[in-house]
Structure 1
Amino acid sequence: MHNGLKKDAAEILKSAIEAVEPSVAVKRALARDKNTLQVGNRSYDLDKFRNIYVVAFGKASVPMSKALEEILHDLPLKGMAITKYGLGSKLEQIEVYEAAHPVPDENSLKAGQMVKEMLSQAGKEDLVFFLISGGGSSLFALPRKDVSFKEFVKLHEALLSSGATIKEINTVRKHLSVVKGGGLARMVFPAQSISLVLSDVVGDTLDIVASGPTVPDSSTFEDFYDIVERYQIKLLPSISRLLEDGLNGLVEETLKAGDPVFDRCYSKLIGTNCIALDAAEKKASQMGYNTLLLSSYITGESKEIAKVFAALAKNELLHGRPMSRPACIIAGGEATVTIRNGGKGGRCQEMALSFAIEAEGLEDMLFLAAGTDGIDGPTDAAGAFADGSSVEKAAMQGLDAREMLNSHDSYPFFDGIGDLHKIGQTGTNVMDIYILLVK
């Protein structure tokens, strides 16, 4: 593997992640002048509020909370930050709790119960900050009254291995939970609320990030039904009854646009994949590359997306298109992996492995696929580097690339050739970034 290209790709990714560092994003979004707080086009007189509550949830909840504490350093805050195991650290005023991701656990349920209890104390003269980031859907969970938590967890596992998109998965989650799909907006009413959102979904749709807890939901129980039918997911008894009752209008839908609770809510998007990609492109240009920012809307099966990047690499090497070399093509989004058997890896590692197969034998180019959160699937790697020599290097170690792609064993493949990209958990999450470099 070309070490110069590998180093360059790592530097470009690093710049992208730094641009969406959560505390930077929060401080960029809030402007305080004495006791006046400006958030987007809204102005708040902090003297008018009796209490200020903070509910942060997602992989970026701790640094987001820390930034808010610094901005409101002279005011008493009550609240909690719910984050993934291993990402917690002590804050000055806000309590920190850790829970599981991407499948909720008992701590997720406990966190949901504690949030409900705390928000029950909020009144009309109070202000609530919701600091929302990717991973919030599992880290903070509170199923509807008659839904078994065990069955709730089983459905999450089935959805995550089905190949369903994050929009589809969160559509189902919203209908299972009392805190998602506008549920927190209903819970906190009549207090005023400000939601600062770090997006981890394609298109930055607010009702999909963390399953849209503070915004109107456009999905329905009919959508829930269509999704489980499409992916042939068998529902366990309590969830099957909920869906049937929902379809028959016997239980409440998620909150829709026009509901008066949203008159007291304000939401602002403060960090996105596009911001990260812009920073990556700027860094690559500074390093001397001719750049193309392809798209921030990449979705679909990882192994199929990889074929497009391999085709772009071939076109660059043979024809110098779509730009002259040295070239850097950057894109972002969130792919899926449909798991048909076991294996160890993540969507970015699987994409890199498929790219390695498609680009076998090509020289003077390199591909990096990585998650901005530093964690690709249930592994300790952000992603992996691949080039035209990856398959041959693996074969020398007794590793069969095609066989390992079929068994979703991308982690041991790249571990075997030393091309996993490990950067640790970053504390942010704005989906994935794909970088193709051609000398």
Structure 2
Amino acid sequence: MHSIQQARAFSRTRRTLLKAAAGLAAAPAVLRATRAYAREPVLRVGHVSPRTGPLAGFAEADDYILQGVAAAFAGGVRNNGRSWKIEIVSKDSQSNPNRAAAVAADLILTDEVDLIVAASTPDTVNPVADQAEANGTPCITTDCPWQPYFFGRNGRPGEGFESTYHFFWGLEDVIAAFLALWDDPRVARKVGGLFPNDADGNAWGDPVRGLPGALAAAGFALTDPGRYQPMSDDFSAQIAAFKAAGVEIVTGNMIPPDFATFWSQAGQQGLKPRIVTIGKALLFPSAVRALGERGVGLSSEIWWSPDHPFDSSLTGESSRALAQGYTRATGRPWTQPIGFKHALFEVVADVVRRAADPEDPAALVEAIRGTAMTTLVGPVDWSSGPVRNVSKTPLVAGQWQKRGDRVELVITANRTAPEIPVGGELRLLA
């Protein structure tokens, strides 16, 4: 707390010194600065995401989203009768936590951003949020289950954080969505778990907060061979354990290269589950397409889709309109992170409009804390979270199904969020 207050004090002192320096300049220079300030003051927003590396699929739509947001911000954001120009400075985490921390520090200390946003798994979100918290910089993040974000940063439920806020779903939500997806009397309740030795894998495999306890309570037997190292090239031990246990459902949280290796070896070694539901690896059309025919029938959680019944508070676009616009502009199918990347800047705009003083970090944090709005991905309201700095968004589940000559992600289970319509029924793999 003390370091955060110092950082905020330093920020206010620095602004004061800059204004004082301007006052000592020649009168014409002061007049020019005053007119510029009167015309349109500028707020800088830092943005961090994994443009390159194994998590690059999460940032596939970044250019499209940032262009659209820049257009929406072109006329400025109004606050107390004045228009504020929003300047976005975006940097690549390269899918590396150390790099994410470094570029976040650079945005805060060199680019002097007023607010920082980040998305795409704990490898990006957590180090960025930690840098923001250490420097007293307001921060909004998404696209990471809340438990790895909160507990992975040593958050305490009764205390939380000062400057950093997050919106997304939690492990309890993905577990409930998976259980709804697997509720089929034709399938044995024997599950094989694939959990990497990273922040996501350790959270998903946590015996208390993760899948093991919840599956046991729901009557599923989990075979967990232990944590594997990301970018493994041999899953023979896991496959053998699943075959010995008679596993009919395979689940876990994997990066696309790891799942591709596992799924190829599973086919070679005769593992034939009836349902395969994997977080992270099966989110993206490009990753599923790379699996060929063996990608058809795989399933995943669904955070956002064209069928989500929410509109953008920033542009007025529906979820379907944004997805179709992306496909028209790029020639690529929609991806789930599109909605959340857009929603980050919906929240930014709302916060800037409501802040008592957009240049004051404490005022921005207070405005973030008071957010209560509906975005393209659903409600964002930090007064109703499971812990102080978290707001939850709705989650459903679905399957990659062949529709004509295309493979599309179809919502097949919406028990956890009935306001989001289903588009088909689950088809078993074997």
* TM-score normalised according to structure 1 size: 0.31
* TM-score normalised according to structure 2 size: 0.31
